[in-house]
Structure 1
Amino acid sequence: MDLPRSFTIRESGHRIHNPFDSTKLATLGEVLRLPPAARLLDLACGSGEMLCTWARDHRMIGTGVDISTVFLAGAEARAVELGVADRVEFVHGDASGYVADTPVDVAACLGATWIGDGVPGTVALLRRSLRPGGMMLVGEPYWRREPADQACVEACHATSRDDFLPLPETVERFAALGADVVEMVLADQDSWDRYAAAQWLNLRRWLDENPDDELHAELRAELDTAAARHVRYQREYLGWGVFVLMDR
């Protein structure tokens, strides 16, 4: 049970595995206005940057669940680095079936709503771990602009333009699920650049260091077009944000 090796190579230098920079992640932690010792569950937590920095900055207590052994090793090292290993724990497992033993103040899934087969299922999964009056954090793409054609759709990691919604409809969908949107923090084009461009550097360094690896040709072909694809399509058409929800 693990992520494909190509994914961990592509994001090997990332602490945040979505188009947020550290400033936006910090802003998200601040706007929640949670008391010290609030409990946080992060499903598909990646390298644990949200848990570790919020444990340091806001004295939160947290659990992260992820399928990647590589990212979880980085998360545990980061917890030690920031002096919060006694406040956070990381579980290797399939986040799609994980429910907290004790109800939490915040249940999060940032950019991995496939664990619930989409937004409705992910919201339902987060609710199973949430205390009454708690908050859910859902990170999800949306269309900044109507995609020009199917090539644009696929370059934005979708199979159909119906996979994502425009921002107003994205917000309205949460209301239809019985939740109020009480805050949101959105990625911008610069934070998209930081996320995407870091992948190009990771790929190039890996290619230089591993010329005989079986993945070399595949990842070389990816890097050949990655920058142009990003500036032509993803940067212009695809938005991403974290929406803070409370049940009605």
Structure 2
Amino acid sequence: MDIPRIFNIAESNHRIHNPFTSEDLATLGAALHLKAGNRVLDLGSGSGELLCTWAKDFGIIGTGVDMSQLFHTQAKLRAEELAVVNQVGFIHDDAAGYIATEKVDVAACIGATWIGGGVAGTIELLDKSLLAGGIILIGEPYWIQRPPTEDIAKGCLAGAISDYLLLPELIRSFHALNYDVVEMVLADQKGWDRYMAAQWLTMRRWLETNPDDDFVENVRAQLDSDPERYTRYTREYMGWGVFALMKR
């Protein structure tokens, strides 16, 4: 069980696998008024930065689930590095359908809402692990401006314009699901650049050290196209944020 190899290669040096910075994670944790002993579930937890830093900074207890073997290993190493192995645990598994054995204060899916078939299904899944009065965190892209053509949307790596909403529409969609939006932290351009541009050096170094690998053509094709594609399309049209929700 693993994610597509290109992501394991391109994001192998990332601690955060989305456009958030470490400052954004800290801002979000503080905004939620996290307290020692709060339980947090993170589905699609990547390299574990959210859980590990929140365990260190706020004293939370957490469980992360991710299907990348590489990121799972990195998460465990990060927990050791920050001396929080007694507070957080990581499960190498498909997060789709995962329900916590003990209800949590915060249930999160930051940038992996495919696990529930979209935003609505992921919220429904997270709610099954949540204590009454708890908070759901959803990390999701949105359109800064709606692309004028489907080709531009595909340049942003969307399947179609309809895949994402404008920010006010996304907020309204949470309300339609009977949730109040009680906080949000939005990625800025620095976060987007650090997430995307950092992949290019990682891919270039991988190509230099793995010239005979069967996957070289795939990595070379992505490195050839990604800088222009990102600066022409994603940087112009796409936003990203984490939204804190509470059921009405």
TM-score band, normalised by the shorter chain? Answer: over 0.9
Map 1:49-128; keep pairs closer than 5 Å.
49-128=49-128
* Counterpart for residue 192 of structure 1: 192
Map 1:82-231; keep pairs closer than 5 Å.
82-231=82-231
State how far apart, in whole Å, the 2-side matches of 1:112 and 1:10 are. Answer: 17
Aligned partner of residue 195 in structure 1, secondary structure: helix
Aligned partner of residue 96 in structure 1, secondary structure: coil
Q: Output one character per residue of 1:9-31: Cα deviation in whole Å (capped at 9) or x when no partner.
A: 01000000000011111101110
State how far apart, in whole Å, the 2-side matches of 1:218 and 1:57 are. Answer: 39
Aligned partner of residue 78 in structure 1, secondary structure: helix
Aligned amino acid, residue 23 of structure 1: E
TM superposition shift of 1:221: 1.3
Q: TM-score, length-normalised on structure 1?
A: 0.99
State how far apart, in whole Å, the 1-side matches of 2:201 and 2:34 are. Answer: 36
TM superposition shift of 1:139: 0.2
State how far apart, in whole Å, the 2-side matches of 1:193 and 1:151 are. Answer: 22
State how far apart, in whole Å, the 1-side matches of 2:155 and 2:139 are. Answer: 19
TM superposition shift of 1:150: 2.1
Structure 2: 5+ residue stretches without partners? none
Aligned amino acid, residue 238 of structure 1: M
Q: Output one character per residue of 1:74-106: Cα deviation in whole Å (capped at 9) or x when no partner.
A: 000000000100000001111011100110000
Aligned partner of residue 182 in structure 1, secondary structure: strand
Aligned partner of residue 99 in structure 2, secondary structure: coil
Aligned amino acid, residue 63 of structure 1: T
State how far apart, in whole Å, the 2-side matches of 1:123 and 1:30 are. Answer: 22
The percentage of aligned residue pairs carrying the same residue is 58
Q: CA RMSD in A?
A: 0.7
Aligned amino acid, residue 227 of structure 1: P
TM superposition shift of 1:34: 2.1
Q: TM-score, length-normalised on structure 2?
A: 0.99
State how far apart, in whole Å, the 2-side matches of 1:232 and 1:3 are. Answer: 27
State how far apart, in whole Å, the 2-side matches of 1:221 and 1:122 are. Answer: 32
Aligned amino acid, residue 4 of structure 2: P
TM superposition shift of 1:157: 1.5
State how far apart, in whole Å, the 1-side matches of 2:175 and 2:123 are. Answer: 12
TM superposition shift of 1:229: 0.8
TM superposition shift of 1:155: 1.6
Aligned amino acid, residue 61 of structure 2: I
State how far apart, in whole Å, the 2-side matches of 1:204 and 1:19 are. Answer: 20
* Counterpart for residue 245 of structure 1: 245
Q: Which moved more, 1:215-224 or 1:115-124?
A: 215-224
Q: Output one character per residue of 1:23-81: Cα deviation in whole Å (capped at 9) or x when no partner.
A: 11110111000221100000000000000000000000000000011101000000000
TM superposition shift of 1:218: 1.5
Map 1:20-35; keep pairs closer than 5 Å.
20-35=20-35
* Counterpart for residue 6 of structure 1: 6
* Counterpart for residue 236 of structure 2: 236
Structure 1: 5+ residue stretches without partners? none
Q: Which moved more, 1:224-233 or 1:49-58?
A: 224-233
Aligned partner of residue 34 in structure 1, secondary structure: coil
Aligned amino acid, residue 237 of structure 2: Y
Aligned amino acid, residue 120 of structure 1: A
Aligned partner of residue 165 in structure 2, secondary structure: coil
Aligned amino acid, residue 89 of structure 1: G
* Counterpart for residue 47 of structure 2: 47
State how far apart, in whole Å, the 2-side matches of 1:12 and 1:178 are. Answer: 38
State how far apart, in whole Å, the 2-side matches of 1:82 and 1:232 are. Answer: 38
